[in-house]
Every structure is written in C-alpha cells, then in structure tokens.
Amino acid sequence: MKAMTISKYGQVPLEQTEQPRPDVRPHDVLVEIHAASINPVDFKIRDGDVKLLIPYQFPLILGNDFAGIIVEVGHAVKQFQVGDAVYGRAEKNRIGTFAEYIAIDEQMLALKPASLSFEEAASIPLVGLTSYQALHDVLQATPGQKILIQAGAGGVGTFAIQLAKAMGLYVATTASSAGHDLVASLGADEIIDYRTEAFDEVLHDYDGVYDTIGGETLRRSFKIVRPGGHIVSISGLPNGRFGKSYRSGFLKTNLFRLLTLRETWLERKHRVTYTFLFMRPSGRQLEHITEWIETGQIKPVIDRIYPFEEAQAALEYSESGRAKGKVVLQMK
C-alpha cells in the first residue's frame, strides 16, 4: 500500500513509500482510508519529542486520525461490518493514517456522522477527543464556569470553543485579529488579541485553562486561575503525577518531576492544579461527539484540503501556524 513515512527522527521530509498492508487482529477492522488530518502531535512524533513516552520503529507511517470504509473485520469483531463508514483515532503504538489502509481495534472507532463528508469527519477525532477529555474528564467543567481556551482559531481551538459552549461554559480565547471573526462565530464570549493584549492582565478568577501552546504561555496561565482551579495542557511537559499514572517507571517519572519544577512551584503558589494530557483513543467518546455534530452544535472547521501526494506541503502549512481550523489529506 502507499504510505507517507519517515526513516528517522528529526525535521525530515515525508517520503511516499510502499508498505505492507497491516495485519488484522481478532478485534481489529481494516479500514480503507479516505481522508486523514494533520495534527501538532505529528510534528512532535516526527521530531522525537514524544519518544520518552512512546519509542517508535522505522520506517514510521505518520498520521493519527482518519475517516474511511471498513474492508475487512477480525473474527472477534462485534460492533462493525464490512462497508461501514467510520472515523477514529489510532492507538498511540499503532499510528499510521497517512496511508491507504489502517488496522485498528474496534473500540477506537465510531460510525462516521452521516451529515459529514469523509474529509470533514477526518478532521474531528484527535481534536475532538482531546478537547472532550480536557474539558469533561480533567477539568470536569460544569455549566456557567469560565474557561480560557488558548489559540482559538487553530485546529484544536475551533473544536474546543464549540464543545465548551455546548457544555454551557463561558469561553475566553486568544486569537489574532485575522481569527477574530472565526472564533466569534463559534461562540467565544471574550476574545483577546494576543498581539496587542496580555491575556494574563485582562482575565481573572477563571475556573480553568485549556492550554494548547505550552512554554511561557502556559506558565502565565497560572495567574488567571482562581485558587482551586485547574490547568490542563496538551503542549506543556509531563509532570511527576503524569509519569506515575502513566507508569513511566522510576527514572522517567523523576525526570518529568525535574523538568516541571517551575510548574510545580506555580501550582503551590497559586493553589492551582496542573495536568498534562496525553489523549487516549475512545470510540465511546466519539459517539458522544457525533451526537453534538448531528444536532448541529459542533461543526468541522477546515482550512485546506490537500491530495495525499502533497502530504509534506500539508504538514508544512499546518506547522506554520497560519491555518484557521484543520488541515486535511484527501486519500480518495
């Protein structure tokens, strides 16, 4: 099968190669991929930024979420059948959606929303599950609470704003003037132009922050959260609590503690909890997301669609930070 692969860690270009069609385990389905989307985790995997958490073998097919048609089912599969249109997020140790086919456990899948094209559906799983787990599972946000979502015009932010509003939250977000109209149309209640305003000087007493940027932006977020509040980040560093819960082992867990000493100090100073989120695939949670999509509360936001052969250009455009919404690869 055709696939977009890398042969080593680093900022190396994707190569179109021929790879064997994946084997189908008893609980797997084999999906013919019609579309896949680009996500920041793709750059992190390529650059080796997550190899402490998951070491990959080469050649490595990149890509984490997709939509397509089931063409084969394992003998123990109960939920799906050949011909079903599905979408999902691959397991972290079985990624590879920049390809013609992927084998994936049925528990990681949901039926594709009938109202969406394959390209639209492919834009949802990773950002949708990440945002659901950040807002629902980690922050445990309840109606009326105030949440800051960083980078609201990006691929994650455009979904997270809609989800937060569907959950009844008051949403502030950061965006440039070019993204203002987009995030306003998605329901953001307060918009901070990060080029002219400092969000940590404008916002106060927020219940939570959904950080998608990391670094100093993450650390400044501690200033706006009320005591007892919570910050969840997908772009910061794992801390010791994460290492322990992820069963990373003694050495890695202590390395995480050392790397996040400043965040731990800020937690204590502001009496705020910091959580690093490493999203997990879930077909059941995708089914909840499908309900919001089918009722019109959440809609895909796509910036550009590239043909499969232009995967490298798609990756570069997404990595540039200019995209408003998701960047999608069209396989079929």
Print pLDDT tens along the chain (332 aa): 999 999 999 999 999 999 999 999 999 999 999 999 999 999 999 999 999 899 999 999 999 999 999 999 999 999 999 999 999 999 999 999 999 999 999 999 999 999 999 999 999 999 999 999 999 999 999 999 999 999 999 999 999 999 999 999 999 999 999 999 999 999 999 999 999 999 999 999 999 999 999 999 999 999 999 999 999 999 999 999 999 998 899 999 999 999 999 999 999 999 999 999 999 999 999 999 999 999 999 999 999 999 999 999 999 999 998 999 999 999 97
Strand partners, 18: 2
- Find how far residue 252's CA is from the centre of its chain: 24
Q: Is the peptide bond before 59 cis (omega within 30 degrees of 0)?
A: yes
Both tokens assigned to 224: 């706006």
Instruction: Compute the C-alpha angle 58/120/323, nearest 5°.
Output: 70
Backbone angles phi, psi at 309, to 5 degrees: -65, -20
Secondary structure percentages of the chain, helix, strand, coil, to 5? 35, 25, 40
Q: Provide the sign of the torsion angle of the four alpha carbons 197, 199, 201, 206, taken in this order.
A: positive
279 CB-near residues (< 8 Å, 6+ apart): 89, 126, 129, 130, 133, 234
Strand partners, 86: 68, 111
Q: For residues 163 and 132, is the Cβ–Cβ distance under 8 A?
A: yes
Q: For residues 263 and 306, is the Cβ–Cβ distance under 8 A?
A: no
CB atoms within 10 A of CB 45: 22
What structural domains and CATH numbers belong to the chain?
Answer: 2-125+281-330 (3.90.180.10), 126-276 (3.40.50.720)
> What's the rounded Cα separation, in Å, for the pair 145 and 131?
16
The DSSP code for 165 is H
What 3-state class would DSSP assign to 181?
A: helix
What 3-state class would DSSP assign to 328?
A: strand
Backbone angles phi, psi at 267, to 5 degrees: -55, -50
